[in-house]
Structure 1
Amino acid sequence: MAVENQPAPVTVTATRTVAPATNRCTLATFDLPYITFYYNQKLLLYRTPAAAAAFPDAVARMTAALADALRVFYPLAGRIRQVADGALAVEGHEGAEVVEAEAEGVSVVDLAEGDCAEEAERVMQHLVPYTGVMNLEGLRRPLLAVQFTKLKDGLAVGCAFNHAVLDGTSTWHFMSSWAELCRSASGAPSVLPIHDRSLARSVRVRLDLPASAEAHEKTDPNGPKKVLVARVFSFPEATVGRIKAVANAALPPGAKPFSTFQSLGAHIWRAISRARGLGPSDITAFAVFADCRSRLNPPLPAAYFGNLIQAVFTGVPAGMLLGGPPELAAGLLQKAIDEHDAAAVNRRLEEYEAAPKLFHYSDAGPNCVAVGSSPRFKVYDVDFGFGRPERVRSGGNNKFDGMVYLYPGRGGDGGIDMELALQPEAMQKLEEDGNFLQQAAA
């Protein structure tokens, strides 16, 4: 969320490429819908020793480990190619881009504690590479870019991953493996990735790609993107438990209980719909990017490297959502998630293969709440040798109106952090919503 006409607080000091050997893999149907999304950005903030040599030593060690990691997670070192039949594949060994930068006027605490500060948001956008870069740029750019930024009292590790190549599960598998290699001299991570994408789908799909991100955005029938603001709301473990208990309180004996995600998702969906001031007949949708590894028949292990997610939608008039009890919303989410079984997954794949589409964010609808990431991802276990991160955040990419990213609470006590992008007026109303804020402290 950059502020115009202000000097950038970060100065880039070096850029280079880190590459392994040549390999190839064809993108599966699961991967292709994300070609017109943007690079998936993650930011990890660490405290490091204040010695002058600490930053270059840390960068040298992490860069060497990155080269080892890319030998194992080799798709991230290639480029996307469109082969003769129009299918997309990843091949080559051009490598990942590594950037070094300095922001010595910025401290870790400024960023880790400043979730709602406009200045902190502005600075964080300079700590993550490839803001505004669409995944189709992977035909010309690296599929992974890493920025190491020296802070006043620590190190910021900003990563940009081409989302057409991997999902959240694979992202954090890579990050944890990279950190593991940085801490040890084994040369290989303890859990190896599975690169055979034919295990998920072997159908080859022809895509007619636009010339550029700008060319694609011009085809959006709903016009330019809206101005958004981002905030983080933290739900302590006790609050999460209370929300879940309220959602389950009215269930009859023997009914399937609502999960933590379904209960919290219902709470978030209702609160955002109130903040948007939706009318009773306005349809509001909830979408969750569900991991399909365990839904396939046969299921695939978590180590499958690629995209195995699909957006699971449910919709309802706002009057029904807000006029009904919390268990109504939670029940809608539970039903949609439970019904997305192997047959439903295959139907979605077949529909896409029959009529491939280049998506826009606005395809989700004007009143959508969409949830990505997961509090199950062990993002705070990514230790490069100087301890757990002080904070994990997303960058500015892929934050459309109503986009939610869920992370485990930074305290490691079972809480959940919610990172949300909304239009300014709706965000202000949400922050003033007593029912929402009595359970979530910003």
Structure 2
Amino acid sequence: MAPPPCQPEQARVRVIDRIRVSPPPSEHEHEHEHELPLTFFDVAWLFTGPVERLFFFRHPDPDSTLPLLRSSLSLALRRFYPLAGTIRPSPATPHAPFLYSYSHGADALNFVVAQSDRPDDLDHLVARDPRDLAWIRPLVPQLPPPGDDGAFALAAVQATVFPGRGLCLGVSVHHAACDDASAMHFVRTWAAACRLGDDSQAAMPPPPVLDRSLVADPDDLRGKTLAGMMCLAPPPPPPPPPQEEEEEEERERAPLVMASFLLTRDQIGRIKDASAKASSFVAASALAWVCLLKSGSVGVAAAERSHMLFSAECRWRLTPPLPAEYLGNCLRPCFVEAATADLLSGETADGVAAAAAAIGRAIREMERGVLEGAEGWLGRVLSVLPERPMSVGGSPRHGVYDTDFGWGRPARVEMVSVEKTPGTVALAESPEGDGGIEVGVVLPRDAMDAFAACFGSI
């Protein structure tokens, strides 16, 4: 797949302002200090990093949006105040060594305002065709480094203006703070407050549920998970991100491109016809798995078995179920394994059918006991990683293309953080609203060409 003509070499973005945004002051003094314990679902993500998503919008006067974006962000944080705070070690309470902590007047969320010196770049950045990741990285907000006390920030946002053309809103949320369902709940709340002008109208999304006691842990899975992690990682705080110099060296060795592929409703139907009871998620994941294998991007050469990992939503699977608005993590790993020969032999459609069958079996096994074997999840994940498994980020259920800040639907939404875990694809609903699925992937250009050829054969 050749790059489209006249593409920019690199997005030129300069920072205009850095703003610390806090929730509005509370009327009640006792509400100025907040602490929440982490659950066993949360601590599993302590040593990871943020989920990074970009929302691109067309707008003739993007500068005019900035004051309202800032004020509505503060209103959204009134409900989602933990995201303006930190997670910090708490040596005084060894049974819960990490806590959310938010203090009004001291903690705030970083809001970066930036501007592109090449407004026409927006047209290239919202295209489906492969785009050099170097154009996209400057649009992603960076979390500040951990403090001397080990506390680390949970979220950051960035608004990058393309004068006269539109803007990109970047949202980074540390995975230890919450999962993607909660992060998108926050984004939808921010968007609604911006669109409506306040946060008191009935059209606002329901508020998040912050009650940690809803997650029962009679077997001390939190303590067991932390103990396992501490054997494999340095003591808290989690290590800071790699230095910029190291990142730049890595990028020079392996230039990467990002592309989006649309799996239409008809294509999904054909996969379902060949794979009894396959859902749209299963169909898209199966096709992506086979395409990544054929492009050499996952799996180990000559390995008899291939592996896939994804996180399964547990809110409605727990007994009793958690509210859909629960703010935090509520995911468990789901492990899929299949014979490599079954995935690669014959036509692509044959491999996709075999992959869909394997994913379906894994989901049915997981649903028989959603917390069964939880003590061994960490060890099992680590044992699979050397096999270079495929993994999945995002979900068509999150409705990222319904995000409306008051100037219409996004022109493109990208989950850039899939770059950090090779072999990961991002799934979202089709921006056309036609029942299809959008698949985002980051690969070296040669591998991207092979992925595209396989994807187009269905």
Same fold (TM over 0.5): yes
Q: Find out whether 1:341 has 2:367 as its counterpart.
A: yes
| Aligned equivalent of 1:76 | 83
| Aligned equivalent of 1:113 | 127
State the Cα deviation string for residues 281-339 of structure 1 (Å, max 9, x = none). 43210112111111111111211111111220111231133338443321211111122
Moved over 6 A (4+): 133-138, 214-217, 356-360
| Aligned equivalent of 2:260 | 232
| Aligned equivalent of 1:19 | 22
1:46, 1:388 within 8 Å by CA — same for their partners in 2?
A: yes
1:79, 1:142 within 8 Å by CA — same for their partners in 2?
A: yes
Change (3 A) 1:197 1:423: farther
1:14, 1:99 within 8 Å by CA — same for their partners in 2?
A: yes
1:283, 1:316 within 8 Å by CA — same for their partners in 2?
A: yes
Q: Find out whether 1:194 has 2:209 as its counterpart.
A: yes
3-state SS of paired residue (2:373):
helix
Offset, 1:22:
3.1
CA distance in 2, matches of 1:138, 1:359: 30
Q: Which residue identity lines up with residue 285 of structure 1 in the other structure?
A: H
Change (3 A) 1:247 1:280: farther
Offset, 1:117:
2.5
Q: Find out whether 1:29 has 2:49 as its counterpart.
A: no
Q: Which residue identity lines up with residue 333 of structure 1 in the other structure?
A: I
1:45, 1:154 within 8 Å by CA — same for their partners in 2?
A: yes
CA distance in 1, matches of 2:99, 2:11: 36
CA distance in 2, matches of 1:311, 1:136: 30
Q: Find out whether 1:85 has 2:93 as its counterpart.
A: yes
Q: How many residues align?
A: 406
CA distance in 2, matches of 1:180, 1:233: 28
State the Cα deviation string for residues 205-248 of structure 1 (Å, max 9, x = none). 3564355536999xxxxxx9994543321212222222222333
Q: Find out whether 1:275 has 2:295 as its counterpart.
A: yes
| Aligned equivalent of 1:254 | none
2:54, 2:170 within 8 Å by CA — same for their partners in 1?
A: yes
| Aligned equivalent of 2:65 | 58
State the Cα deviation string for residues 371-422 of structure 1 (Å, max 9, x = none). 1111121111111111111111112465322101101112222221111234
Superposition pairs for residues 392-411 of structure 1, below 5 Å?
A: 392-396=413-417, 399-411=420-432
Change (3 A) 1:363 1:285: closer
1:138, 1:162 within 8 Å by CA — same for their partners in 2?
A: no
Offset, 1:365:
3.1
CA distance in 1, matches of 2:85, 2:450: 45
The CA RMSD over aligned residues, in Å, is: 3.1
Of residues 142, 167, 178 in structure 2, which corresponds to 1:166?
Answer: 178
| Aligned equivalent of 2:273 | 245
Offset, 1:431:
2.9
| Aligned equivalent of 1:437 | 456
Change (3 A) 1:330 1:238: same
| Aligned equivalent of 1:9 | 12
CA distance in 1, matches of 2:142, 2:415: 13
Superposition pairs for residues 83-162 of structure 1, below 5 Å?
A: 83=90, 84-86=92-94, 87-93=97-103, 94-107=107-120, 108-113=122-127, 115-118=129-132, 121-130=133-142, 139-152=150-163, 153-162=165-174
**How many percent identity over aligned positions?**
30
| Aligned equivalent of 2:29 | none
CA distance in 1, matches of 2:194, 2:344: 49
3-state SS of paired residue (1:125):
helix
CA distance in 2, matches of 1:376, 1:168: 11
Return 5+ residue gaps in structure 1 as ranges.
1-5, 218-223, 249-256
Offset, 1:114:
5.3
Q: Which residue identity lines up with residue 442 of structure 2 in the other structure?
A: A
CA distance in 1, matches of 2:209, 2:174: 18
CA distance in 1, matches of 2:69, 2:387: 42
Superposition pairs for residues 283-432 of structure 1, below 5 Å?
A: 283-323=305-345, 325=350, 326-341=352-367, 343-348=369-374, 350-351=375-376, 364-396=385-417, 399-423=420-444, 425-432=446-453
Return 5+ residue gaps in structure 2 as ranges.
1-8, 24-31, 244-249
3-state SS of paired residue (1:90):
strand
1:37, 1:134 within 8 Å by CA — same for their partners in 2?
A: no
Q: Which residue identity lines up with residue 397 of structure 2 in the other structure?
A: R
1:136, 1:213 within 8 Å by CA — same for their partners in 2?
A: no
Q: Which residue identity lines up with residue 161 of structure 1 in the other structure?
A: V
